[in-house]
Amino acid sequence: MDKLKLGVLRVLTTDDENILNIHGELLEKYFPEVKTETKCIPDQPNGIYDDESHKIAVPKIISLAKRWQESLDGLIISCAGDPAVEKLKGILSIPVTGAGTPTAAYSLNIGKKVGIIGIGKKAPQSYIEVLGNNLIGYEKPHNVKNTNDLQTKEGKKEIIRSAQKLEEKGGQVIAFACTGLSTAKASLLLKEHVSIPVIDAVFAEGLMMIGMCRYRKVFGGDNL
Amino acid sequence: MDKLKLGVLRVLTTDDENILNIHGELLEKYFPEVKTETKCIPDQPNGIYDDESHKIAVPKIISLAKRWQESLDGLIISCAGDPAVEKLKGILSIPVTGAGTPTAAYSLNIGKKVGIIGIGKKAPQSYIEVLGNNLIGYEKPHNVKNTNDLQTKEGKKEIIRSAQKLEEKGGQVIAFACTGLSTAKASLLLKEHVSIPVIDAVFAEGLMMIGMCRYRKVFGGDNL
């Protein structure tokens, strides 16, 4: 069985190979049917964390994706804000996904009342649209402003507090709205502190991308 | 890479091996990472198509699932009504899914406005709960009463008509609410007649089951 070759486009600028490749390595660990290659956009060392940082990332993502697609079966924009994804669907000839829509959609497969943890002031738009009335709450860990803040000891304590609030509120499942929570291995951390399932955004983007690649192979067409 | 061994529990009683195995064969075609084994419940030659046929199937499904689970990595109750699934989650030690919740959830990964085609008087409850306000319409093909009626020439014409109505209504994606539409190969049929993606219920149940098996392997726990 040939492995699917997936591009992992990071919106966090780094020249540290260990940090750069962490989503790709997680994807290969979760899904033995894929192999990954990772690249990042330039000049955004704090990633995407608000409207402005989202906006300036979009043309960089599109430019990189266009140059890169030829060697890939599918492209993951590994960010819960799904930056540039809708535009890229009209441009690329391969399946493309962000992390946000897949995570929101997959969480509904696991539980009907979904709580979200993210780093923006409010839940990303795709989560609001996908979850509708099934969204029971959004939490931003205290004092966390960007993806790097999630990796500290203090940041991790606040992630736990956010998850516990969502469980108390009646959540049946927690969905991550930032892939920095995957980098922080927060799913494993939260297993000790909440009793409901936690949907990791890197896990969900990988599963749904496998689905999109397989769908196209079986049913043809490019109207994904 | 070891293949996942999935049980495919059919709620349509048949001793015709070709009919019995059709969902399992589709799953192995869609997803090379799985191998399947299929069994069916007794005494329901027309499957599940209303409240009464659903109700009498539940104890038969539970009985078969309990005896079968030991040799499986995961169990799919291959029916869009998700019969017995919630009860089985509390009973089995392996992941279990129906076709309904996965299809509704996966369709939201592909488009935000979802139209449904099924054989019941109304959309199955799981679709209503998962889709909420994203559900833009439900269509039951004219004169189709059970899964066998979907396989006829007249049935297929009516499936096309239902799909076209949902596209005209503004649907961005069509989700099947009956696995008999997979047996009828309606996804391929509809490619000629509508321009929006069509989510096959057997495809979606397979993808989401792969997700559930992988999730458990990586993150542990059985609170799926």
Q: Which residues of A touch B101 (CB under 8 A)?
A: 108-109
DSSP B145: -
Mean pLDDT of B173-194: 94
Q: What is the reported pLDDT for A70?
A: 96
Q: What whole-number distance in Å separates Cα of residue A223 and Cα of residue A204?
A: 21
Q: What is the reported pLDDT for B180?
A: 92
A158 phi, psi to nearest 5 deg: -70, -30
Residue A172 sits at the vertex; the CA angle it makes with A170 and A173, to the nearest 5 degrees, is 125
Find where tokens 């993808």 sit: B207
Q: What is the reported pLDDT for B148?
A: 86
Inter-chain touch A29–B218, beta carbons under 8 Å: yes
Kindly list the distances between the CA atom of residue A176 and the CA atoms of A126, A166, A205, in Å, as whole numbers in the listed order: 12, 12, 11
Asked if pLDDT for residue B197 goes beyond 70, the answer is yes
Per-residue pLDDT tens digits for B106-157: 999 999 999 999 999 999 999 999 999 999 999 999 998 888 888 899 999 9
Please name the amino acid found at residue B224. Answer: L
> Which two three-digit tokens encode residue B100?
């309904």
Per-residue pLDDT tens digits for A115-140: 999 999 999 999 999 999 999 999 99
Q: What whole-number distance in Å separates Cα of residue A25 and Cα of residue A126?
A: 25
Q: In the structure, what pLDDT confidence band is assigned to residue A1 with cuts at 50, 70 and 90?
A: confident
Asked if pLDDT for residue B165 goes beyond 80, the answer is yes
Asked if pLDDT for residue B53 goes beyond 90, the answer is yes
Asked if pLDDT for residue B1 goes beyond 80, the answer is no
Q: Tell me the shortest Cα–Cα distance from A218 to chain B, in angstroms.
A: 6
Inter-chain touch B105–A102, beta carbons under 8 Å: no
Q: What whole-number distance in Å separates Cα of residue A50 and Cα of residue B208?
A: 32
Asked if pLDDT for residue B3 goes beyond 80, the answer is yes
Residue B118 sits at the vertex; the CA angle it makes with B116 and B124, to the nearest 5 degrees, is 80
Q: What is the reported pLDDT for A221?
A: 66
Report the interhelical angle of B100-110 vs A100-110 (nearest 10°): 170
Window 175-204 of A: residues touching B by CB (8 A cutoff) are 187-188, 191, 195-198, 200, 203
Kindly list the distances between the CA atom of residue B17 and the CA atoms of A8, B35, B37, B43, B201, in Å, as whole numbers in the listed order: 43, 17, 12, 16, 21
Nearest-by-CA chain A residue for B103: A109
Q: What percent of chain A has pLDDT over 90?
A: 89
Cβ atoms within 10 Å, residue A159: 25
Please name the amino acid found at residue B20. Answer: L
Q: What is the reported pLDDT for A219?
A: 86
Q: Which residues of B touch A200 (CB under 8 A)?
A: 219
Q: What is the overall mean pLDDT for chain B?
A: 95
Q: What is the reported pLDDT for B221?
A: 66
- What is the distance, to the nearest Å, from the Cα of residue A217 to the centroid of all Cα atoms in its chain? 24
Per-residue pLDDT tens digits for B54-89: 999 999 999 999 999 999 999 999 999 999 999 999
> Which two three-digit tokens encode residue B212?
């559930």
Q: Tell me the shortest Cα–Cα distance from B43 to chain A, in angstroms.
A: 30
Per-residue pLDDT tens digits for A142-198: 998 888 888 899 999 999 999 999 999 999 999 999 999 999 999 999 999 999 999
Q: Which residues of B touch A211 (CB under 8 A)?
A: 106, 109, 203, 207
Mean pLDDT of B36-54: 94
Q: Tell me the shortest Cα–Cα distance from A49 to chain B, in angstroms.
A: 23
Nearest to B214 among A30, A211, A214 (CB): A30
What is the model's pTM? 0.95
Q: Which residues of A touch B210 (CB under 8 A)?
A: 207, 210
Per-residue pLDDT tens digits for A68-82: 999 999 999 999 999
Inter-chain touch B109–A112, beta carbons under 8 Å: no
Task: Give the strand pairing for A4-10 and A74-77.
Answer: parallel
Q: What is the overall mean pLDDT for chain A?
A: 95
Cβ within 8 Å of residue B10, ≥6 positions away = B20, B23, B38, B39, B40, B41, B78, B79
Please name the amino acid found at residue A22. Answer: I
Mean pLDDT of A34-60: 95
Q: In the structure, what pLDDT confidence band is assigned to residue B207 with cuts at 50, 70 and 90?
A: very high
Query: CA B103, B105, B108, B109: dihedral to nearest 10 degrees?
Result: -90
Give the least confident one: B8-17, B110-119, B160-169, B213-222: B213-222
Q: Which residues of A touch B105 (CB under 8 A)?
A: 105-106, 108-109
Handedness of CA A107, B114, A139, A39 (dihedral sign): positive
User: Given phi > 0 = left and psi -120 to 50 = alpha, else beta, which region is A28?
Assistant: alpha
